A and B are shown apart, each in its own frame.
Chain A
């Protein structure tokens, strides 16, 4: 079957790609565009390791077809740092040891950034429920939650 020609925006840059009907956005990012920061942990929308923003909405890219990106804007982990400056969440994940193996980290960072843009002052419970779709098997979540809460406080201008 002929491939679809898709015109989209990824991390602010115009991008064109060809994909088959069955290829997911995650497949396209990883296999066609070499953006391997988004990870496949389950391919069923359960683990959140492939989290990206699609037109400002947090989605599992394994549940979106590549062809659906037509005319939309995609933001991935590769676009999170600005030049050589890490996003405050990235910096605080490092300082707070909020990662061990690191496979879930891109998904957590994308999801946490989406939370803080929507709710700059979340409670611990709100952070825990927002991130309940991102699985981490290494950390027990403790240091991840703390890093997100600390970042929220810093962004609000409160001392941590």
Chain B
């Protein structure tokens, strides 16, 4: 461990999470567990075509089916202008969003919603879907990012005007981004070794186990309530209000417990449909996606294609890095190509960098955020070519990384100059680990890779209510996706000086707590945590004032220590300390309720870095890769709840292993997804894996009272290259395409063996 270690009573302990008992007993209510009397069931008709013009939709037969109460199509949603609007920190184009939740002129991917039905039972709703007649003019489609950029490719949107570049005619390129640092020509001129390589990655799904679900109830006066599983209740409110033409004050969104999201629940799919159906029928409407719908119509993240060139001196100084990254956006613009470019070589101090990114539309579902969006894709290539460079130079791969490591004062290619960061420490800890020098057997290999993610702050509001019996309630507004309530309560207990079990954290609905940007960007423990700490300090300030009133002294004569108001010095007077419970009990006669508040747009997120070590064994007969051992080292700033910090690291690493070895979207020649289920889209299972060892490095973020940086996203960045580098180390075969599934690896092994056999 590095960094300042201060003694805390609660921060850094492994307390039992406040929502835990409900989750081990089946009591916790998730998205699909909610029901209302008189509720209808809603179902969505989805396009069987990857690309087609909608000539007409006839819903009359469906509407005539007994039990059907309402049918909606795009005609039930007003069109939206093509403009980028701010929604929290995100920029959204409502023209695209209204088309994604319900296709208008065209369907743009297999699974695109074209109509929805509400009926008295799910069976009737499903039968009604069969009765809706859609007349399609099927068009040529394009699935692959590189093909979509070629001249003559089928065009998804004739009106698309690319940003950041000129286009001579219709194009699928939605945006070009450029990042420049120094002078790459000069950098390559100084290089003694130059490598150029190309890599591709497959589209993968976030793979949360809980399908999307929502219940909406619109009353006759136009007020709506929505219960849904989402990463952001305020996001659902804003988007639904816009798409359904309502004011935000008319909509109250209550987030359920959320069964995983990983970025995939930062957008709306069902909520506007359920709201429109409820408004049309006058009844509450429940909608749940099937697993097949989740795969066909939600998420995924981009497939990517990239070309990189790297130059270095013989003594291991990387002098230049140049690259082009092309990411699929899916049916509408908005791939994470910008962060992909920004993160690609962020762990390194390279003086000359040029990166160009393209955001490209294709006939696949519109991508959604997925854990460190874009970074795992660009890092797969970057960390692979750096591994090749190490081999070329005769360097240990971690020593090469350490020699070029970004540190405090390094100017990153994407703009900022780093404050105190912990990247070097992660490499040093990896080198020092027992794992890194452990022996390997035949067909076994070891790979390493590093990763970076910004982490974000954003709008957060929190309230700390002091109860009359000396306990406290923390109200915040971010769905708890992996233990954040525990970390918020630990920090509040630390500030208030009371027992953790006396602090109950709850997540407010949109009408009971101030605006909070959604759960994402590894922001909750950092940013909402900061708001909770400030709200607790506001409550403490009020309690000190109450004590001053009771003692009849000046309020600056009272300080807070160990959960008690005490005189600041003996000059103030000799008073028995007043506990939080004492002050709470007297609150009616000292000024009324004690409620601490804080609301701010939090700045100062601390960048996160990680370095992973992976051992594999490759079966030369089948191409199957077994992960033998895995260690993830990460700078987290400060681990507020170490178990959930480790859990984030372990879970992220395993998602990355799945991305590396198995996961991909498989389309047939008609552009239909062929593996929309967990049997054929294979996420890692328990028997695929070893324990995931974690090394938690703590280099505190000086812009958070407890040093928090954010944890959840960095761990998915290094694994794909770590696995690829381990496979190369085991077999001598370099895999440049994901996934490195048995058939692909076997083909590569066979290709490498053929020349040997011929000799």
| Residues of chain A having any CB pair with chain B under 8 Å | 20, 22, 30, 35-44, 46-47, 49, 76-78, 80-81, 86, 90, 93-97, 99-106, 109, 125, 127-129, 131-146
27 A-B contact pairs sorted by A residue (CB < 8 Å): A30-B32, A39-B32, A41-B291, A44-B679, A46-B291, A76-B26, A77-B25, A90-B24, A94-B24, A96-B643, A97-B646, A99-B23, A100-B482, A100-B651, A101-B210, A101-B259, A102-B257, A105-B23, A125-B687, A128-B686, A131-B686, A132-B686, A135-B209, A137-B260, A140-B653, A145-B686, A146-B691
Decide yes or no: A134 and B257 within 8 Å by CB, A35-B26, A86-B24, A143-B643 being known contacts: no
Pairwise interchain contact A102-B259, C-beta atoms closer than 8 A: yes
Decide yes or no: A138 and B643 within 8 Å by CB, A100-B483, A131-B686 being known contacts: no
Pairwise interchain contact A140-B650, C-beta atoms closer than 8 A: yes
A104 to B344 alpha-carbon distance, docked (Å): 34
A131 to B258 alpha-carbon distance, docked (Å): 22
Inter-chain contacts of B483 with A (CB < 8 A): 97, 100
5 nearest CB pairs, A to B: A37-B26, A103-B259, A140-B654, A102-B23, A97-B643
A68 to B650 alpha-carbon distance, docked (Å): 40
Inter-chain contacts of B26 with A (CB < 8 A): 35-38, 76-78, 80, 106
Q: Which of B123, B291, B651 contacts A139 (CB 8 A)?
A: B651
Inter-chain contacts of A80 with B (CB < 8 A): 25-26
**8 Å CB interface, B410-456 against A:** none
Inter-chain contacts of A93 with B (CB < 8 A): 24
Decide yes or no: A100 and B647 within 8 Å by CB, A36-B33, A137-B655, A137-B683 being known contacts: yes
A62 to B689 alpha-carbon distance, docked (Å): 26
A48 CB, min distance to chain B CBs, angstroms: 9
A78 to B28 alpha-carbon distance, docked (Å): 11
Inter-chain contacts of A134 with B (CB < 8 A): 686
B60 within 8 A of A: no
Decide yes or no: A37 and B32 within 8 Å by CB, A22-B123, A100-B482, A142-B650 being known contacts: no
B748 within 8 A of A: no
B280 within 8 A of A: no
Task: Name which residue of chain A comes closest to B261, CB basis.
Answer: A101
Pairwise interchain contact A97-B644, C-beta atoms closer than 8 A: yes
Inter-chain contacts of B687 with A (CB < 8 A): 125, 128-129, 131-132
Of B12-20, B184-192, B459-467, the segment with at least 4 beta carbons within 8 Å of chain A is B12-20
Q: Which of B27, B209, B643, B687 has the most CB of A within 10 A?
A: B209
A93 to B28 alpha-carbon distance, docked (Å): 15
**8 Å CB interface, B653-689 against A:** 653-655, 677-679, 683-689
Pairwise interchain contact B686-A41, C-beta atoms closer than 8 A: no
Inter-chain contacts of A104 with B (CB < 8 A): 209, 259
Inter-chain contacts of A142 with B (CB < 8 A): 646-647, 650, 689, 691-692
Pairwise interchain contact A137-B651, C-beta atoms closer than 8 A: yes
Q: Which of A39, A95, A144 contacts B259 (CB 8 A)?
A: A39
Pairwise interchain contact A109-B24, C-beta atoms closer than 8 A: yes
Pairwise interchain contact B643-A137, C-beta atoms closer than 8 A: no
Q: Which of A35, A36, A135, A139 contacts B678 (CB 8 A)?
A: A135
Task: Name which residue of chain B comes closest to A141, CB basis.
Answer: B686
Task: Name which residue of chain B comes closest to A105, CB basis.
Answer: B23
B626 CB, min distance to chain A CBs, angstroms: 12
**8 Å CB interface, B230-245 against A:** none
Inter-chain contacts of A47 with B (CB < 8 A): 209, 291, 678
Pairwise interchain contact B25-A81, C-beta atoms closer than 8 A: yes
Interface of B, helix, strand, loop or mixed by DSSP: loop
A123 CB, min distance to chain B CBs, angstroms: 12
A96 to B19 alpha-carbon distance, docked (Å): 14
A80 CB, min distance to chain B CBs, angstroms: 7
Provide the B261-273 mask, 1 if CB < 8 A to any CB of A, else 0. Answer: 1100000000000
B308 within 8 A of A: no
Task: Name which residue of chain B comes closest to A110, CB basis.
Answer: B26
B21 within 8 A of A: yes
A65 CB, min distance to chain B CBs, angstroms: 15
Inter-chain contacts of A135 with B (CB < 8 A): 209, 678, 683, 685
Pairwise interchain contact B24-A105, C-beta atoms closer than 8 A: yes
Inter-chain contacts of B32 with A (CB < 8 A): 30, 36, 39-40
Inter-chain contacts of A77 with B (CB < 8 A): 25-26
Q: Which of B21, B210, B211, B257 contacts A94 (CB 8 A)?
A: B21
**8 Å CB interface, B120-137 against A:** 123
Pairwise interchain contact A94-B290, C-beta atoms closer than 8 A: no
B395 within 8 A of A: no
Pairwise interchain contact A44-B677, C-beta atoms closer than 8 A: yes
Pairwise interchain contact A36-B29, C-beta atoms closer than 8 A: yes
A49 to B260 alpha-carbon distance, docked (Å): 13
Decide yes or no: A43 and B290 within 8 Å by CB, A38-B26, A95-B16 being known contacts: yes
A109 to B26 alpha-carbon distance, docked (Å): 10
A46 to B680 alpha-carbon distance, docked (Å): 10
Task: Name which residue of chain A comes closest to B210, CB basis.
Answer: A103
Pairwise interchain contact B644-A140, C-beta atoms closer than 8 A: no
Pairwise interchain contact B678-A42, C-beta atoms closer than 8 A: yes
B648 CB, min distance to chain A CBs, angstroms: 8
Decide yes or no: A99 and B20 within 8 Å by CB, A41-B209, A134-B686, A141-B686 being known contacts: yes
B207 within 8 A of A: yes
Inter-chain contacts of B677 with A (CB < 8 A): 42, 44, 46
Inter-chain contacts of A132 with B (CB < 8 A): 685-688
A129 to B685 alpha-carbon distance, docked (Å): 9
Q: Which of A36, A76, A128, A131 has the most CB of B within 10 A?
A: A36
Task: Name which residue of chain B comes closest to A38, CB basis.
Answer: B26
Q: Which of A94, A127, A145 contacts B16 (CB 8 A)?
A: A94
A76 to B32 alpha-carbon distance, docked (Å): 18
Inter-chain contacts of B261 with A (CB < 8 A): 101
A1 CB, min distance to chain B CBs, angstroms: 11
Pairwise interchain contact B650-A97, C-beta atoms closer than 8 A: no
Inter-chain contacts of A138 with B (CB < 8 A): 260, 482, 647, 651
A37 to B691 alpha-carbon distance, docked (Å): 28
B208 within 8 A of A: yes
**8 Å CB interface, B191-243 against A:** 206-211
Task: Name which residue of chain B comes closest to A90, CB basis.
Answer: B24
A100 to B483 alpha-carbon distance, docked (Å): 6
Task: Name which residue of chain B comes closest to A109, CB basis.
Answer: B24
Inter-chain contacts of B683 with A (CB < 8 A): 135, 137
A43 to B641 alpha-carbon distance, docked (Å): 34
Pairwise interchain contact B692-A41, C-beta atoms closer than 8 A: no
A139 to B23 alpha-carbon distance, docked (Å): 15
Q: Which of A22, A37, A101, A133 has the most CB of B within 10 A?
A: A101
Q: A100-B260, A109-B24 are in contact. List 19 more A-B contacts (CB 8 A).
A: A30-B33, A39-B30, A39-B32, A40-B32, A42-B291, A46-B679, A47-B678, A97-B483, A101-B260, A103-B30, A127-B686, A135-B685, A137-B206, A137-B651, A137-B683, A139-B650, A140-B647, A140-B651, A140-B689
Inter-chain contacts of A143 with B (CB < 8 A): 643, 646-647, 650
A77 to B646 alpha-carbon distance, docked (Å): 27
Task: Name which residue of chain A comes closest to B262, CB basis.
Answer: A137
Task: Name which residue of chain A comes closest to B650, CB basis.
Answer: A140
B481 within 8 A of A: yes
A37 to B291 alpha-carbon distance, docked (Å): 18
A77 to B481 alpha-carbon distance, docked (Å): 21
Q: Which of A97, A127, A128 contacts B17 (CB 8 A)?
A: A97
Task: Name which residue of chain B comes closest to A36, CB basis.
Answer: B33
Inter-chain contacts of B685 with A (CB < 8 A): 132-133, 135, 141
A92 to B509 alpha-carbon distance, docked (Å): 31
Task: Name which residue of chain B comes closest to A42, CB basis.
Answer: B291
Decide yes or no: A137 and B209 within 8 Å by CB, A94-B20, A142-B691 being known contacts: yes
Decide yes or no: A41 and B650 within 8 Å by CB, A128-B686, A135-B683, A145-B691 being known contacts: no
B673 CB, min distance to chain A CBs, angstroms: 15
B571 CB, min distance to chain A CBs, angstroms: 47
Task: Name which residue of chain A comes closest to B209, CB basis.
Answer: A41
Inter-chain contacts of B641 with A (CB < 8 A): 97
Inter-chain contacts of B14 with A (CB < 8 A): 95, 97
Inter-chain contacts of B33 with A (CB < 8 A): 30, 36
